[in-house]
Amino acid sequence: MRHFMEKDGEMFAEDVALSEIAAKVGTPVYVYSAATFSRHYDVFAKGFEGTDALIAYSVKANSNLAILTLLGKRGAGADVVSGGELTRALRAGISPDKIVFSGVGKTREEMHLALNAGIFQFNVESAAELDALSDTAATMNMRAPIAFRVNPDVAAGGHEKISTGKKENKFGIAWEDAPSLYARAASLPGIKIQGVDVHIGSQITQLDPYARTIEKIGGLIKTLRADGHTIETFDLGGGLGIPYGDGGQQPPPPADYAAMVLEATKDLDVRLVFEPGRMIAGNSGVLLSRVIYTKPGETRNFLIVDAAMNDLIRPALYGAYHDVEPVKSGANATVSYDIVGPICESGDTFAVQRDLPKLAADELVVFHSAGAYGAVQSSQYNTRPLVPEVLVSGDKYEIIRKRPNYDEMLSSETIPDFI
């Protein structure tokens, strides 16, 4: 359930009109619904009620401190992929024993930071990382709790850039190398083996890839235990998809996912770990934008908005679909638009030949399903200020990331004396 809805011909976030936020904060602006974030987390958590499952929210989906604090207070842990994300999670009050550190390129400095904090688990993705982690932990007279991220060679995810579980992807260790690497880990002074990790992709809309993955990993767990390793945790990663309004395949409800996982893992005697991100954040936010111009072309009608690819890069990066609609509805005739931003790149295109009611300059439009991988991927390309973020709760709202002015943007740059 999402709390963005039309009331009296106008789009609201919970009980706040988007037009009010546009007037007070300006556009473009990300708008989040606290009720939707809470609801999505609760629905996922309910599926594993009565178990000791760790639900480590994937911070990379939306890392704003306010969002992390909101989810942390509901019991969420955190899946982090950098020292910065770890610092955010800790700053938001998430307990270190609920934090999982993933990613292929952890530095020794980041390892030191995570060991000092006392995190729950490192998901190790290579032999080189294993050696570096052991060295770092040993110099601190510690043992790092680890799970290897094993690549099961299961294809999943709607686009090649978000599929992570195939042989050609950079993630994880090769399936056939798992037994030898676990044996190597057991011999290292700074390592404590505690589990197995897997992550097969993003925007997954079917249960079958998960079922096949669990079956393969379940066999591996039995093999590893027979080899003398203690395997207490099974991290299934994230990747459960959301509806984007493109008429594509609908993802399974979290309750169906949970039922399948619990049934498939019932004999494994492991603590389950999950890293949901998009499923919680995606439909919890929208990008609100204003029309600058309409531009009739020789073959296309262009709708030029003040949001750009630096604010929402997903369409330019991997052809992602976002449903777009006017904030205020009307009875205007339908026009087919190419919806574009002001950046000097042909890739600054949000949609091609999208049918919308006829719009004019200064009208507001909303890009739906923008709560995940939106603000976190934004940049200041073309020296455009980072887009602000607003959190709505009932009839209240607050800016949780402000829009910097030009002086603030330039303040970190210096001109050398030798110029």
Of 251, 274, 297, the domain-final residue: 274
Q: pLDDT-derived band of residue 330, with 50, 70 and 90 as boundaries?
A: confident
Q: Which of 370 and 332 is assigned the larger pLDDT?
A: 370
Strands 173-174 and 16-17: unpaired
Mean pLDDT of 76-88: 98
Instruction: Name the residue among 318, 316, 276, 381 with its Cα closest to residue 61.
Output: 276
Residue 76 lies in a domain: no
User: Is the same domain home to 211 and 266?
Assistant: yes
pLDDT for the residue 246: 76
The number of folded domains in the chain is: 2
Integer Cα distance of 54 and 36 in angstroms? 21
**Which pair of tokens denotes residue 415?**
């001109």
User: Is the same domain home to 288 and 265?
Assistant: no
User: Is the same domain home to 201 and 288?
Assistant: no
User: Is the same domain home to 119 and 265?
Assistant: yes
pTM: 0.94
CATH code, domain with 150: 3.20.20.10
User: Is the same domain home to 260 and 297?
Assistant: no
DSSP 8-state class, residue 10: E
Strands 29-33 and 285-296: antiparallel
Residue 313 lies in a domain: yes
CATH code, domain with 22: 2.40.37.10
Residue 390 lies in a domain: yes
Mean pLDDT of 77-86: 98
Q: Which of 161 and 113 is assigned the larger pLDDT?
A: 113
Residue 201 lies in a domain: yes
User: Is the same domain home to 310 and 190?
Assistant: no
pLDDT tens digit sequence for 83-109 = 999 999 999 999 999 999 999 999 999
pLDDT tens digit sequence for 245-282 = 877 778 999 999 999 999 999 999 999 999 999 999 99
Residue 208 lies in a domain: yes
pLDDT tens digit sequence for 277-310 = 999 999 999 999 999 999 997 889 999 999 999 9
User: Is the same domain home to 194 and 234?
Assistant: yes
Q: How does the average pLDDT of the chain come out, rounded?
A: 94
pLDDT(170) > 90: no
Residue 189 preceded by cis peptide, ω within 30:
no
Integer Cα distance of 153 and 200 in angstroms? 8
Mean pLDDT of 313-330: 94
User: Is the same domain home to 178 and 305?
Assistant: no
pLDDT(159) > 50: no
User: Is the same domain home to 308 and 240?
Assistant: no
Domain extent, residue 299, equals 4-31+282-410
Of 222, 252, 274, the domain-final residue: 274
Integer Cα distance of 199 and 165 in angstroms? 6
pLDDT for the residue 158: 53
User: Is the same domain home to 221 and 331?
Assistant: no
pLDDT for the residue 248: 73
pLDDT tens digit sequence for 182-223 = 999 999 999 999 999 999 988 899 999 999 999 999 999 999
Residue 41 lies in a domain: no
pLDDT for the residue 39: 97
pLDDT for the residue 161: 45
pLDDT tens digit sequence for 105-157 = 999 999 999 999 999 999 999 999 999 999 999 999 999 999 999 999 886 65
User: Is the same domain home to 337 and 374?
Assistant: yes
Q: Which residues are catalytic?
A: 344
Residue 237 lies in a domain: yes
pLDDT(165) > 50: no
pLDDT(72) > 80: yes
- Asked if residues 14 and 372 have their Cβ atoms less than 8 Å apart, the reply is no
pLDDT(164) > 70: no
Among 141-150, 157-166, 323-332, which range has the highest average pLDDT? 141-150
User: Is the same domain home to 206 and 136?
Assistant: yes
Residue 91 lies in a domain: no
Q: Which residues of 14-27 are buried (b: 16+ CB within 10 A; e: fewer)?
A: bebbbeebbeebeb
pLDDT for the residue 156: 61
Of 243, 274, 305, the domain-final residue: 274
